Amino acid sequence: MLTLPDDLRGAFKDPMGPVYTDTERLLSDAGDPIVAVGDVVAYHLRVAGRDPDVAVIDGKTEREAVSDEIAAVLADDDRRIEVTNDPATLSASMLEALAEAVADPDPVVIYVTGEEDLATVPALLVAPEGASVVYGQPGEGMVLVDVTAASKREARELLGKLEGDTAAALAALGVE
C-alpha cells in the first residue's frame, strides 16, 4: 500500500521522542494504552510486568532472529493477528491489524511476516491521545512517543511522504 522511498530513509532514523534504557522509568512516564513496536521492546515491557496493549513483532531484532529467551517470553500471546508486511512498506493488512488491535480492549500481538519497522507511524495515527507508542532505537534503547495532537500531525506528515495511496492507508486505519 505504501513504500518508503530510498531518499527518505534518513527521516525515519531520528528518535521521535526520548530514548530510555530503564524500562521501569519508561513505564512511569508512559501513557495508556501502550503500543510496542519491536520484539525487544515488547520483551522488556513484559519482563517488567506490563504487557503491551498492542505488540507488533516479527521474531527479529536488527534483522537477526531474536534469542530463545525473547521468543519464549513473546510466545505467550493472548490474541494474535498475523500479517505480511514487506521491508520498507506498510501493507493494507498491517494497517487494518493496527486499527483492529488498538480498538480491542484485550492485549493483541500482531505477528509480522516480513518487517515491522514502519509500524510506529500508523500506530501513532490510530492510537488515542494519551496513549504511548514505544519502539526500539538500535544500539540506544527504547523510544517513548506520547500520542498527542502534535505527534499525530507529525506521523500524518511522515505517512504522506511515503509512496502510494495515502488516502487508502488512512481509510484502512479508520482515520480521516
Annotated binding site: 39-41, 58, 60, 116
Question: Which residues are annotated binding-site positions for GTP?
Answer: 39-41, 58, 60, 116
Give 20-29's long-range contacts (Cβ < 8 A, gap of 24+): 20/141, 20/142, 20/143, 20/144, 21/140, 21/141, 21/142, 23/47, 23/48, 23/142, 24/48, 26/134, 26/142, 26/144, 29/144
